[in-house]
């Protein structure tokens, strides 16, 4: 599996000019024609980030040259990144850290409620004088899971 490298994206001004767009003025945001609907002087492009937006309301917009490449040529992310030279593909499986799948807040709350109920039951047994080593282990494990859930929720 390959790897996207943002630093390898082309510099915005040269990318857009090589795509045939001519800028009307100088500055951070420059005006050019919108290739998405054919409107003249309606596309604004940020020369620092590559972000673009059509001011005529055709809906064309994106955050960088990669987004423009995807939208203009109908390419998926990886193909657009490869076309721009910002994708390294050495044929080896990706070894980088995996992005964790987000857990919905409702699921986190339900898990925490179950663990806290277990803690309450163990504490109730302890107050009644029925506290064993197994109860202590269950309580410690449940408390650890609640702490873990709190950490996930704050991440």
- Mean pLDDT by runs of 10 across the 155 residues of the chain is 87 93 90 89 93 90 94 92 89 55 78 85 86 81 80 65
pLDDT value at residue 54: 92
pLDDT value at residue 99: 54
pLDDT value at residue 98: 53
N-terminal to C-terminal alpha carbon distance within the chain: 27
pLDDT value at residue 15: 95
* CB contact at 8 A, 47 and 28: yes
pLDDT value at residue 69: 95
Whole-number Å distance between alpha carbons of 41 and 24:
8
Sign of torsion, CA 145 147 153 155? negative
* Alpha helices, DSSP H, located in the chain: 12-18, 65-73, 77-83, 105-127, 133-154
pLDDT value at residue 143: 82
pLDDT value at residue 68: 96
Q: What pTM does this model have?
A: 0.57
Any idea where the domains of the chain sit in the sequence? 3-88, 105-154
- State which CATH number among 3.90.550.10, 3.40.640.10, 3.90.580.10, 3.90.470.20 fits the domain covering 3-88: 3.90.580.10
Residue carrying structure tokens 């919108």: 34
Helix (H, G, I), strand (E, B) or coil at 6: helix
Q: How many residues are given for the chain?
A: 155
pLDDT value at residue 74: 92
pLDDT value at residue 92: 61
Whole-number Å distance between alpha carbons of 4 and 44:
26
pLDDT value at residue 155: 57
* CB contact at 8 A, 9 and 77: no
pLDDT value at residue 154: 64
pLDDT value at residue 72: 93
């Amino acid at each position: 599996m390959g790897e996207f490298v943002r630093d390898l994206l082309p510099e915005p001004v040269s990318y857009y000019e090589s795509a045939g767009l001519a800028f009307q003025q100088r500055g951070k945001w420059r005006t050019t024609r919108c290739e998405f609907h054919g409107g003249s002087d309606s596309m604004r492009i940020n020369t620092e980030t590559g972000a673009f937006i059509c001011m005529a309301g055709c809906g064309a917009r994106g955050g960088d040259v990669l987004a423009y490449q995807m939208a203009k040529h109908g390419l998926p992310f990886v193909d657009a990144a490869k076309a721009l030279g910002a994708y390294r593909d050495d044929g080896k499986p990706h070894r980088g850290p995996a992005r964790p799948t987000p857990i919905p807040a409702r699921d986190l709350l339900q898990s925490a409620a179950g663990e806290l109920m277990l803690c309450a039951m163990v504490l109730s047994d302890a107050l009644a004088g029925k506290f064993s080593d197994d109860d202590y282990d269950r309580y410690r494990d449940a408390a650890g899971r609640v702490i873990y859930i709190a950490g996930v929720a704050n991440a």
